[in-house]
Amino acid sequence: MSHNAPLTYVRALSATLSPRCVNRCGFCAYPLRKYRAAPSLKRWRQILRAGRPWEPTCLHLTGGEPFTKDRELLQTVRYYGHEDAVDYVHTLLAVAMEEHHGGLLTSVELGELRRADLQRLRPVVSEYVVGIVAFDPAIFDTALLWNAPTMAPPRRLELIQMLGQLRMPTTVNLLIGLGECESSRLQTLAALAEVHARRGHLQAVRISPFRPRAGTPLENHPATPPDLIVRTVRQAAEILQGIPVQVPALAVEDFVERCAEAGAQDLGLITADPQSDFTMTARSWGKVERRLHEHGHRLVERLALTEQAVAHGLFTDNQRRCIARQLTCLEERHVRPVAAPVAAAAPEVVEVDETRQASA
Ligand code: SF4
């Protein structure tokens, strides 16, 4: 990769709406988190205000699966006066728009949702993130994933395909180093390339390393070696022609320049969580920036919708307004936004035809 090709990234605020998850993926510490009730609107405004110094252009919302059926979450949001979890998310996003002057795009990672719920979210969501592991039967038959029904490869593929039918820009987060074989990693990448060839909605594929977490069944499993990440990034760049390969900057901070040289083009969301201290994020991100500059790589901030997604018309009216505001903010910060041509692309906006999609 040329050292002149920029690496892109997004500044984001993150918030977890529900840590409950029906799955028990052996590598995941998410369900071990202390339960914290979904924020009230008053608390939500405080969170958003606390996150302003990070200068985010994106709001990243996560929740366990199935997010819309979590009984405690439903009780909480109904107590707040919302019809259901999707209605609650819409309200959170509307408040975020007020607090950040109409300028936050939204990335969500809410796992497997019903088609009808995805359709309701589509107008306000700029990116849907889907976590997967390599489609390797050998690891699905082990304690690693035997109790994680919605992570099964056919269901994950179905979800990714459905997001394509709904024309929702999607980032797939592929976790590697769990003991899967190389051919299954390559087959998984090939399957993603095939889905993208039909729907054109994958705006990035993230290659993520496994890191053992205390208290999980895989706490003694070795972390993914850097060489495996670098090799997979190189293979992904070859197989996923036209889909940017992403690496999670803060998880590869000690060898990020090697990932860039192997073909990674994007560092994804650099997320700060205003509910905890985000000086750690700032420090780690500063280290990544220095390291890349020392190795001759340029960094360019982008919006949560990639240039390719925009070129494919994968945005709604809501996002068009949001992007216009963000471009002004980025200019004020003297950042060259990668998605700049979007302003001229406005007449080409393709809205989601909900009637047509519902009958598809
Ligand atoms: S589905 Fe996601 S949140 Fe749930 S246990 Fe698995 S990795 Fe964790």
Q: pLDDT (tens digit, 9 = 90+) per residue, 304-314?
A: 988 788 888 88
**Is 102 or 315 the better-scoring residue by pLDDT?**
315
Q: Is the CB of 47 under 6 A from ligand 1?
A: no
How buried is 294 (Cβ within 10 angstroms: 0-12 exposed, 13-18 middle, 19+ buried)? Answer: exposed
Identify the pLDDT of residue 357: 32
Report CA(101)–ligand 1 centroid distance (Å).
Answer: 33
- Per the prediction, the chain carries an average pLDDT of 87
Cα torsion angle, 76, 82, 83, 89, sign: negative
What are the b/e assignments for 251-279, b being 16+ CB within 10 Å?
Answer: bbeebbbbbbbbbbbbbbbbbbbbbeebe
**Matching residue, tokens 């997604």:** 309
**Amino acid in position 288:** V
Identify the architecture of domain 7-359 in CATH.
Alpha-Beta Barrel (3.20)
Q: Is the CB of 64 under 6 A from ligand 1?
A: yes
Identify the pLDDT of residue 349: 33
User: What residues form DSSP beta bridges with 108?
Assistant: 61, 128
Residue nearest to atom 3 of ligand 1 (CA): 64
User: What residues form DSSP beta bridges with 130?
Assistant: 172
Identify the DSSP state of 346. G
The span from the CA of 23 to the CA of 332, in Å, is: 44
Q: Which atom of ligand 1 is nearest to the CA of 151?
A: 1
Q: How many CA atoms lie within 13 A of 247 on its CB side?
A: 31
**Secondary element (H or E) of residue 345:** helix 342-345
Q: Which atom of ligand 1 is nearest to the CA of 27?
A: 7
Residue 345 contacts residue 310 (beta carbons within 8 Å): yes
Residue 316 contacts residue 352 (beta carbons within 8 Å): yes
Residue from 27, 28, 216 to probe ligand 1 pocket by mutation (most atoms less than 8 Å from CB): 28
**Amino acid in position 233:** V
Report CA(199)–ligand 1 centroid distance (Å).
Answer: 26
Report CA(250)–ligand 1 centroid distance (Å).
Answer: 20
Residue nearest to atom 8 of ligand 1 (CA): 28
Residue nearest to atom 1 of ligand 1 (CA): 23
Q: Is the CB of 31 under 6 A from ligand 1?
A: yes
What are the b/e assignments for 223-240, b being 16+ CB within 10 Å?
Answer: ebeeebbbbbbbbbbebb
pTM reported for the whole predicted model: 0.90
Q: Is the CB of 28 under 6 A from ligand 1?
A: yes
How buried is 42 (Cβ within 10 angstroms: 0-12 exposed, 13-18 middle, 19+ buried)? Answer: exposed
Rg (CA), the chain: 19
The span from the CA of 275 to the CA of 278, in Å, is: 8
pLDDT-wise least confident of 31-40, 118-127, 201-210: 31-40
pLDDT tens digit sequence for 172-197: 999 999 989 999 999 999 999 999 99
pLDDT-wise least confident of 72-81, 86-95, 96-105: 96-105
Identify the pLDDT of residue 1: 47
Q: Is the CB of 217 under 6 A from ligand 1?
A: no
pLDDT-wise least confident of 23-32, 117-126, 158-167, 221-230: 23-32
pLDDT tens digit sequence for 270-321: 999 887 767 788 889 999 999 999 999 999 898 898 878 888 888 888 788 8
Please state, as a whole number, how many other Cβ atoms lie within 10 Å of the Cβ of residue 154: 8
Residue nearest to atom 6 of ligand 1 (CA): 25
Q: Which atom of ligand 1 is nearest to the CA of 62?
A: 3
Residue from 20, 30, 211 to probe ligand 1 pocket by mutation (most atoms less than 8 Å from CB): 30
Identify the pLDDT of residue 274: 81
Percent of the chain's residues with pLDDT above 90: 60
Rounded average pLDDT over 107-135: 95
Which of 1, 99, 116 is CA-nearest to residue 49?
A: 99
Q: Is the CB of 65 under 6 A from ligand 1?
A: yes
pLDDT tens digit sequence for 134-174: 988 888 777 677 788 899 899 999 999 999 999 999 999 99
**Amino acid in position 67:** F
**Matching residue, tokens 């360019």:** 300
